[in-house]
Amino acid sequence: MRIVSWNVNGLRACARKGFLRFLDDSEADIVGIQEVRAFEHQLEPSLRAPPGWHATFSPAERAGYSGVAIYSREPPDRVETSLDEPRFDAEGRLVIARFGRLAVASVYFPKGSGRDRDNRRVPYKLDFYAALFDRLQLLRRRGPVFVAGDYNTAREPVDLARPAANTRTSGFLPEERAELTRWIDAGWVDTFRALHPGEAGHYTWWRQWGGARENNVGWRIDYVLASPSAARRVTSAFIRPEVTGSDHCPVGVDLTL
């Protein structure tokens, strides 16, 4: 089985750049996407229900903002989109699909920077992390869980090209890194880093100006985290920087069932 995650930075825009071709060529069984930025009725039928795929969407209440989805080859047995907190649910940041005992979450974690880049959203971001952590801790008791998405946090200096210049930037603040480390300490496995320990230069997001992507000046903020029972099934973890269509690139894992 293959699970892939991609922040598409607007599904309709990404579709014009080859999203459906990527979906068919991905060899994935489950694809989680983030930043859909559209209501389901605004999507072309080819995106709402691609041939051979089942699609589940969780939009934000605000038009053109956030939103997540899961495409799967098989229909999920159960879908959840709520953390039972309106301030989180209104932003369309979570969808969890159950396939038997296996659970796969597509998550768009908040940015902490705020509109004015003043880090005013950091408390909200950390509250979202904490609420989702509590939900997933319960879920992993029932079976293997993969949490795929844009975490908007680089946990270690090796996870961004210029750590020294970003110590006061949301995404690399000490409190954000500490929260993600709390997940790792609780047994959640960063699948890519587990299989590629200490390797630098692996990024999943680049600024859209200044030649950042061409020069590989990026951040690794997209992850597939696995519960302990899920991590034991992982055979490979990968990043696909050659796939364009968004300012992020796809990440994923291969696993045995």
> Which residues belong to the active site?
150
DSSP for residue 111? P
Residue 70 bridge partners (DSSP): 32, 56
Phi, psi of 3 (to 5 degrees): -120, 130
Report how far apart the first and last C-alpha atoms of the chain are (Å, whole number). Answer: 7
Pairing of strands 145-150, 222-226: antiparallel
List Cα–Cα distances, 172 to 87, 94, 109, 160, 249, in angstroms. 24, 22, 14, 9, 19
Q: What is the dihedral of CA 245, 248, 254, 257, to 10 degrees?
A: -100
CA dist 204 and 197 (Å) reads 16
CA dist 191 and 236 (Å) reads 8
CA dist 79 and 77 (Å) reads 7
Contact 245, 14 (CB under 8 A): yes
List Cα–Cα distances, 62 to 32, 58, 92, 131, in angstroms. 21, 12, 9, 21
